[in-house]
Structure 1
Amino acid sequence: MALTGPSTAAPGQHCQPDRSPAGRLSTVLAALSVSPLLRLAALRYAVPSGTESRTGCDACGEPIGLTGPWPALAPVGRCGRCRARVGPPPGTVEVAALAAVVLLVLVGPAGGALPALAWWLGWTIPAVLVDLAVHRLPDRLTLPAAAGTWLLLGAAALAYAEPAPWLRAVAAGTGLALLFATSTLLLGRRGFGLGDAKLALSVGALLGWCGWSVVVLGLLLAFGLSALVSIGLLAARRARWSTHLPFGPFLLLGTVGALLLVT
């Protein structure tokens, strides 16, 4: 797997998750330790475009931050004062964080481009939760995701003295972002949003690091999942042909799916 760089381990050894009780416990603890940060980011930026970031409970105005009150950033997602629901639905952030940690365990050991994947997940998960809530991908989440991913992939290329994967990652990220941005300019609301184009900077880089065929695979998975969900919503009469679905979640799932399939 190109994401992990050279390794002397037996084939497939690093692709197996740690199934010991200690390994399972560490996975759960890692997910729980980062979930408050992810929940806070999703809560802050899940506001309409042009609106100031949320700093407290919409119902009573109680400030929300890492110093408290903790119920707002706990899995229950409730205000510590009035008990109104704030942020993403209960448990969703924690499940996403646990899935991200499991993904990192499945992909391989720390090293190579794995830090870039961890960085990307840390910013993209809350960005996708915001996209699901208000149909926007905020720059404060997508741009750091792209910048950190490119820098960490560059560091991995320097460490292994192999510039080709990083150059391919840069080309893939730039090309995919331009493709999405062009659709916005040509098709307006019928095309992708500029937020999708900015997320594509990091998506294309991660997939491009592994190879051009992985870029194609990731896009096929993203568009395929989007089509399946659209058909399902139309059949259930929960959407119309004019309904605009957020594409960020499908980019996340397509990227993760492609990386797992080539691991």
Structure 2
Amino acid sequence: MPYTFVMIIGLLGLAVGSFLNVAVSRVPAGRSVVRPRSACPRCATPIAARDNIPVLSWLLLSRRCRACRVPIPARYPLIEALTAILFIAEALRFGRSEVLPAQLVFTAGLLALAACDAEQFLLPRRLIYPTLGLTAACLLAAAAVTGQWHRLGVTAACGVGAFAVFFALHWLRPAWLGFGDVRLAGLLGTGLGWLGPWYLVFALLAGSVVGLLVGIALMAAGRATRHTRLPFGVFLTAGAIAAILVGAPVIHWYESVSDPYAMGAPHTTVRHRP
């Protein structure tokens, strides 16, 4: 993989991460992500270009607003750095393939949704639907370029199937899942379906296991009870990203052990008597 290409993707990730911070701050409140320009939430001083460099400006400003010295939350550099890291990892994973743009859009949207869920227990439709539309458009372009229209069909089936399963769970027990999680499941099915149905299964299982372990750990530490609300969207996002980056070897291993002929088991020949 050319070093220059990876660096460009990483810089793109920093820029996208900066935009995601704006979206996380404004979309849940119903505000525009375009106007007005970014400003300090306390003193309303517009943020100068020199103070808007991802990660670096936060460090140079000693984590405080230049004007009023109010602390700047660590969420800002964390999202910027994490977006860049994940973009680089996916560039190394997929290379210059037609599916890379869809996975980058998908991942960026998931990060914004996870941040909103972690901070406000909210998965805004104004983030889910644009991410779904852009991801689907990128996958449609990938199918048109590669001719792999069957993958597009699998993608649609995974998206509809995941939405239907979560909708049924929500209908049976609304306390278990908010409808935002139902919409998120449809997005996960769309983003992962191109890679294959098992990637979606991997993401849902991994996210559920992580959520269960976190819940147990919090209860053991006395910081939660069985009725404490947890941001399930964060765990589903973690499972989806894990599926994208490390799901392939796990899925290939499972397919090999579930198919005896894949491991070299002898074929049994049935002889018919004359």
TM-score range, shorter chain: 0.7 to 0.9
What is the alpha-carbon distance in structure 2 between the residues aligned to residue 73 and residue 242 of structure 1?
Answer: 41
Secondary structure (helix, strand or coil) at the match of 2:194 reads helix
Report the number of matched residues. Answer: 237
- Structure-2 residue corresponding to 1:191: 176
Residue 14 of structure 2 corresponds to which residue in structure 1?
32
1:176 is aligned, of 162, 166, 183, to 162
Cα offsets for 1:139-188 (capped at 9, x unmatched)? 11111111111121122122222221111111111111222233223322
Cα gap change, 1:209 to 1:31, in 2 (>3 Å) = closer
SS of the residue corresponding to residue 137 of structure 1 reads: coil
Which residue of structure 1 aligns with residue 149 of structure 2? Answer: 163
* Distance (whole Å) between structure 2 residues aligned to residue 105 and residue 43 of structure 1: 28
C-alpha displacement of 1:27: 5.7
State the AA in 1 paired with 2:22.
L
1:169-220 deviations in Å (ceiling 9; x for gaps): 11111111222233223322x2222222222222111222122222211111
Query: What stretches of structure 1 of length at least 5 have no aligned partner?
Result: 1-13
Q: Assess if the C-alpha contact under 8 Å between 1:173 and 1:208 holds in 2.
A: yes
Aligned counterpart for 1:150 among listed residues 119, 136, 141: 136
Structure 2 equivalent of residue 3 of structure 1 = none
In the TM superposition, residue 94 of structure 1 has moved relative to its aligned partner by 2.2
Q: Alpha-carbon deviation of 1:36?
A: 1.7
Q: What whole-Å deviation, never above 9, does each CA across 1:92-120 have from its counterpart, x for those lacking one?
A: 11231122222222322222221110111
Q: How far does the alpha carbon of each residue in 1:126-146 deviate from its partner, in whole angstroms, 9 at most, with x for none? A: 221111100101111111111
Residue identity matched to 1:30: L
Offset from partner CA, 1:31-57 (integer Å, 9 cap, x none): 333332122112213x4xxx4438754
Q: How does 1:94-173 map to 2 (within 5 A)?
A: 94-173=80-159
Letter in 2 for 1:215: L
Does 2:255 match 1:255? no
Identity %: 27
CA distance in 1, matches of 2:23, 2:214: 26
Structure 1 vs Structure 2 CA RMSD: 2.7
User: 180, 188, 191: which one pairs with 1:203?
Assistant: 188
Shift of the 72–165 alpha-carbon distance from structure 1 to 2, 3 Å rule, reads same
Alignment TM-score, normalising by the size of structure 1: 0.78
What amino acid is the match of 2:187?
Answer: S
Tell me the residue number matched to 2:31.
53
After the TM superposition, which of the residue ranges 105-114 and 133-142 deviates more from structure 2?
A: 105-114
